[in-house]
Structure 1
Amino acid sequence: MKLEMMKVTVIDIAQKAGVSQSTVSKVLNDYPEISGETRKKVLKAIKELDFYPDLVARSLVLKKSKTIGLVVGDISNPFFSETSKVVISKAREQGIDVIISDTDYRLENLEWALRNMVGRRVDGILVASVNRRDTVTTNLAKKGFPIVLFNRHTDDKGTSFVVTDNELGSWLAVDHLVGLGHEKIDYISGSLHFSTFYQRYKGYMKALQKHGLSNDPRFVFSEKTEKEQIKKFLKDILLLGNKPTSLYAASD
């Protein structure tokens, strides 16, 4: 960043545009009563002087930062990277910036991210991955801070959340396999500590029960989805005398 850029002030903009400092402030803060012609002059001066407003100072005055936090489990996971892109795009349409933090599914990282974002005075936080028994997000919501979970939620349900019907989706998947003639269905997912996998497992079990099929615990994998572990699990079940005839993967 050029040193000259840091020295440009609202006073400089006002002098360049031939308006008052308060008018410049109103333009910067999107006040509606400023005429189109005046707004053009101020914006032209801002561009010519290469002015960057002090967003921290402005947020203190307006009590809004026009910034939200986004917390994901693992940004390298295609699901989180793709949803993050959509969140950023939609926020940008509203003139809102997004701060992203990656927790690597660790509670201490989630706590740090939330504390840091609140300290930066974000206007709200979206959290894409929480443990079913997590209390950090729930406690923050109880204090009145705007926070919304998506993709996963806690068992407490004390925080607003947006999720798909994982149980029904899972039930439909298994019901489809049974309709194709399969009665021995293998199930693979991540840890049941997460609501997504727990609800999908419930749907799997309910579908088996509905069709009168027995549940063989040897056919179920619900641990951390690491490639070598899954390969070993699949190899073991394929060596069984009574091996499954179909596979239902509840996670990519």
Structure 2
Amino acid sequence: MKFTMPLLKKVYKVSKKHDAPRLWLQHIVCEAAGFTPGADLFVRIDEKEKMIIIQNQPYDDDGFDHEISVSSRINRTSGQPRPLVDTCGSRYATILNVQEKIEISVYRRGNISQVVVRPLRYRLFESDKVEPPSDERIRLLSICSGAGLGTAVFVESQYYTAVQEIEIDEDSAGVSKHNFPYSYLFNGDLRDCHTVAKADVAFVTLDCSEHSSLGDGGKDILTTLFLAPIKYYKLQNRVPFFLRMSRVSIAHQVILH
């Protein structure tokens, strides 16, 4: 079965476990894929395409390399188990390199879920695009979206449809994914985001890791938000609508052709 549009993409550096590359699918990935604790997953390693494919059902051609199981960790607040996958092995070494970045994409169609793991792909002046949903309202892309509070304000007006959120913090991104399950979420460093949804409006807030107590307060906007308008403009062929937020006021600027 061919999947076209990802629901989520996560980027992180590969670590090692027992001196072998570690394949680590965090809660946000497993929950987006609908994986449940104890379920069996079917793994296919495609060395030609440099990818690892993990599916919750056997493949149509019955070809797969091995099976793994979904484990879990108890959430301290709810007391409920949250799914995760933590495996390692030399068999992953042809795809995963320790300390190199990988991208994990989640796809779903009906009751079939697929997670694709591959080395990070990124080109500054090119972008893969995600097709927008059929709900043709004003399409909203949220950059440094946090838990999605700003996105919710737009969507609740009934004039906007959320098509993508970009957020580095996993807990915040998980909340956003829960509230906007059909919007494409990129969970990782903004500077690694290569796939951008086609949108009409970009809602851009300051990077909390640099502009709040969450980070060092360096306010280094040039190395964080600088790439956002480049990637957006290159794909959309238009200049985005920026909202810049501070503690005491909200300033906005509309730039037209």
Q: TM-score, normalised by structure 1?
A: 0.26
Q: Looking at both structures, which has the greater relative contact order when contacts are Cα pairs under 8 Å and sequence separation is at least 6?
A: 2
- Bigger radius of gyration: 1
Q: TM-score, normalised by structure 2?
A: 0.25
Bigger share in helix? 1
